Amino acid sequence: MSQNKKTIQKYMDSFQETDHEQILSCLTEDVIWEMPGVYLHHGKDEFDK
C-alpha cells in the first residue's frame, strides 16, 4: 500500500474512532477543510478549534 493510501486509511480509522489527535497527525499545516455553506477552515490551527 502506498504512503498516501496509508495516510488516508489512518485518517478514516481515526475519524471512525473519534481520535482527534490521530486525525491531526494526518493533516499538513496548510490543510483546507470546507463544508460549503457551513464553514471554511484554513490550516491546522483553525481545524483544531
Overall domain count for the chain: 1
The gap from C-alpha 45 to its chain's centroid, in whole angstroms, comes to 12
Specify the pLDDT at position 44. 94
> Could you give the angle at the alpha carbon of 42 between the alpha carbons of 20 and 14, nearest 5°?
20
Per-residue pLDDT reduced to its tens digit, 3-44: 999 999 999 999 999 999 999 999 999 999 999 999 999 999
Collapsed DSSP state (helix, strand, coil) of residue 31:
coil
- The pLDDT of residue 49 is above 90: no
**Could you tell me the pLDDT band of residue 48, with boundaries at 50, 70 and 90?**
confident
In this structure, is the dihedral angle defined by the CA atoms of residues 23, 26, 32 and 37, taken in order, positive or negative? Answer: negative
State if pTM tops 0.85.
no
How far, CA to CA in Å, does 20 sit from each of 4, 5, 32, 42, 47?
19, 19, 16, 17, 10
**Which structural domain range is residue 37 located in?**
3-47
At residue 13, the pLDDT reads 98
